[in-house]
Amino acid sequence: MRALIKIGGSLLDDPASRHDLARQIAAVAASGVQVAVVHGGGKQMTRFLEERGIKSTFVRGLRVTTRETIDAVLKVLAGSVNTQLAAALGSAGARTVGLTGIDSGVAVAEQLDPELGFVGRVISSDASLLSTLTGAGYMPVIACVAGGANGEVFNVNGDSMAVAVASAWKADRLVFLTDVLGVLDASKTILPLLTIEDCRRLIAEGIATGGMQAKLDAATSAVSNGVAEVRIVRGSDARIVSRVFAGEGAGSRIVGGAN
Ligand SMILES: Nc1ncnc2c1ncn2[C@@H]1O[C@H](COP(=O)(O)OP(=O)(O)OP(=O)(O)O)[C@@H](O)[C@H]1O
Ligand SMILES: [Mg+2]
């Protein structure tokens, strides 16, 4: 089985949380599942920029990315966050390889919208590097940075990066570890099972907004592209990764058909 696990940045900020997740993910890999990891780092980015007197601006949930910001993306996302996660997974026994979408065409992007600057939309993903690595027992740990056709570097939303990679690599499951229990309805009740239509409705009705809107957009595109199961769970819940892979029903599950 191939599983892509996407870890939200806020779960990686605290060393205890990072090491706890790393131990669970390494255990899943040790049980024979081929695992690739994509991570975000929005919180770390905002803090890094703030320390340098740069205010973060968002349009439709996406960070406006200037030349200065993209340099910070490389230092923070592809640098510290990626390396610290690889170190935690490595110490838990995983044979990690830290990389970005730029390596061997794992994610090629084009500019999403001139208003957003260097924010990319992934237009192709060559997963042969990932297959080679995971086939040989390594665990790719991918920062959500993509390359352009002309050598540009793009900042890509972690969820859409995860989906592009999961689809190209033909992952059987995609697990989003985030900072909320799952997808919540208007009365803040968890929705355990959602179809693509449910996701579209939650977005249209303004119930899923910001980061969750991006996640549901990504999830529906993953399901449409053949990923059998997408899960959204709270990464800080005890033994959450182990429980998901043991078949327990935590969080929200997004499925293709009307079931
Ligand atoms: N209907 C909803 N149900 C649950 N969360 C929602 C909903 N609508 C909006 N949200 C917001 O979406 C957030 C999760 O997305 P967010 O982008 O912040 O995290 P992430 O994708 O896990 O991390 P990162 O962006 O760093 O990779 C929640 O913290 C919550 O504030
Ligand atoms: Mg997000």
Residue nearest to atom 21 of ligand 1 (CA): 8
**Is the CB of 113 inside a 6 Å radius of any atom of ligand 1?**
no
How far apart, in whole angstroms, are the C-alpha atoms of residue 25 and residue 92?
A: 9
Centroid of ligand 1 to alpha carbon of 214 (angstroms): 8
Centroid of ligand 1 to alpha carbon of 137 (angstroms): 32
How far apart, in whole angstroms, are the C-alpha atoms of residue 233 and residue 95?
A: 25
Would you state the torsion angle of the CA atoms of residues 56, 62, 65, 70, taken in this order, to the nearest 10 degrees? 100
**Is the CB of 207 inside a 6 Å radius of any atom of ligand 1?**
yes
**Is the CB of 208 inside a 6 Å radius of any atom of ligand 1?**
yes
pLDDT value of residue 259: 43
Query: The whole model's pTM is what?
Result: 0.95
Residue nearest to atom 13 of ligand 1 (CA): 211
Considering every ligand atom, which ligand is closest to the CA of 39? 1
Considering every ligand atom, which ligand is closest to the CA of 41? 1
Closest atom of ligand 1 to 182 CA is 4
CA dist list (Å): 176 to 8, 165, 244: 8, 13, 11
List residues, by chain if needed, whose CB lies under 5 Å from ion ligand 2.
Answer: 211
Set out the domains of the chain in order of their start, with CATH numbers. Answer: 2-255 (3.40.1160.10)
Specify the DSSP class assigned to residue 95.
Answer: -
Centroid of ligand 1 to alpha carbon of 135 (angstroms): 32
Burial of residue 139 (CB within 10 Å: 0-12, 13-18, 19+) is buried
Burial of residue 186 (CB within 10 Å: 0-12, 13-18, 19+) is exposed
Provide the residue-wise pLDDT of the chain in tens; the chain has 259 residues: 999 999 999 999 999 999 999 999 999 999 999 999 999 999 999 999 999 999 988 887 789 999 999 999 999 999 999 999 999 999 999 999 999 999 999 999 999 999 999 999 999 999 999 999 999 999 999 999 999 999 999 999 999 999 999 999 999 999 999 999 999 999 999 999 999 999 999 999 999 998 899 899 999 999 988 888 899 999 999 999 999 999 998 999 998 864 4
How far apart, in whole angstroms, are the C-alpha atoms of residue 35 and residue 50?
A: 34
Centroid of ligand 2 to alpha carbon of 134 (angstroms): 25
β-pairing verdict for 153-155 and 145-147: antiparallel
**Is the CB of 251 inside a 6 Å radius of any atom of ligand 1?**
no
pLDDT value of residue 93: 98
Contact 35, 173 (CB under 8 A): no
